[in-house]
Structure 1
Amino acid sequence: MRYWLFKSEPNTWSWDQQVANGDAGEEWDGVRNYQARNFMREMQIGDRGFFYHSLKEKSVVGIVEVIAEAHQDSKTDDPRWECVDIKAVEPVPNPVSLDMIKADPRLTEMVLVKNSRLSVQPVSEAEWQIICDMGGL
């Protein structure tokens, strides 16, 4: 299993909306960055990810699971753009803010710290465990 981080603006797609979709999940559509798309191409069913609210909140708020591997993004006919489907697994009891992540010296190499604009990014197993611990999981 690999670990990832999915960033969303909560006014566009929130954790509550993700949860409301239940086991059916949702396409992680609309990604128009080649590096983020390539990360989604690496994902496998069962991989886990952090659901991260961007903009003002800037916090890890939930855990998601990949339920469909990369496929054509249904929001475009352009074959360059693919996406995965994810479903909500559980909320993070104590959301972990970007400031908390940046303040932890064990997370200085995390992609979120080095390239906070990338909407889909890998998370190492060690980073995953640290953030889960910080969030009360």
Structure 2
Amino acid sequence: MNYFLAKTEPSTYSIDDLERDRHTTWDGVTNPQAVHAIREMRPGDIVFIYHSGGVSSVVGMAAVKSQPRDDPKNPKSAVVELEFAGRVEPPVTLAEIKQSGKFDDWALVRQGRLSTMAVPEKFVAWMRARYPKAKI
């Protein structure tokens, strides 16, 4: 199983929307590095959902339910089906992630505008330690 992080503006599509809908097609990604991350996703992988803008935090998780495929609206992009897998409560802010000093080499910290990315195993371990009851 691999882990990824996908950013969304809560005013566009929030963790509340994903929880209500139960599943969604994750689309609208155009940055080549972010598209590459989507193309690496496989069913069973976990995606941390991150609200960007404002609070900037990891707020929930989704499970990848499909193989990635070309975006029918943009052949240079890719889409994948995600299913709601839970909330991260309390959310983990970007400030907390940066203050830990453990993730300075991660794209979330280095490339603030990158919308979708792989998650390093050390972040997964850090999250498991913070949320021992969560299914991370």
TM-based fold match above 0.5: yes
**What does residue 82 of structure 1 align with?**
78
Normalization by structure 1: what TM-score?
A: 0.90
Q: TM-score, normalised by structure 2?
A: 0.91
**Structure 2 residues without counterparts, runs of 5 or longer:** none
Deviation at 1:135, TM superposition (A): 5.1
Distance across 2 between alignment mates of 1:103 and 1:87: 30
> How far apart, CA to CA, are the structure 1 residues paired with 2:82 and 2:128?
19
- Supply the AA of the counterpart residue of 1:105: G
**Structure 1 segments (4+ residues) deviating >2 Å:** 131-137
Q: Which whole-Å deviations, capped at 9, do the CAs of 1:55-104 have from their partners, x for residues lacking one?
A: 00200000111111211324x1x322211111110101210000000000
Equivalent residue, structure 2, for 1:71: 69
Match of 2:50 in 1: 52
On the 8 A contact 1:64/1:88 being kept in 2, the answer is yes
Does residue 2 of the first structure (1) align with residue 2 of the second (2)? Answer: yes
Count of residue pairs the alignment pairs up: 133
| CA RMSD in angstroms, aligned pairs only | 1.4
Asked whether the equivalents of residues 27 and 85 of structure 1 are also in contact (C-alpha less than 8 Å), the reply is yes
Q: Which moved more, 1:100-109 or 1:124-133?
A: 124-133
Distance 1:116 1:47 in 2: 23
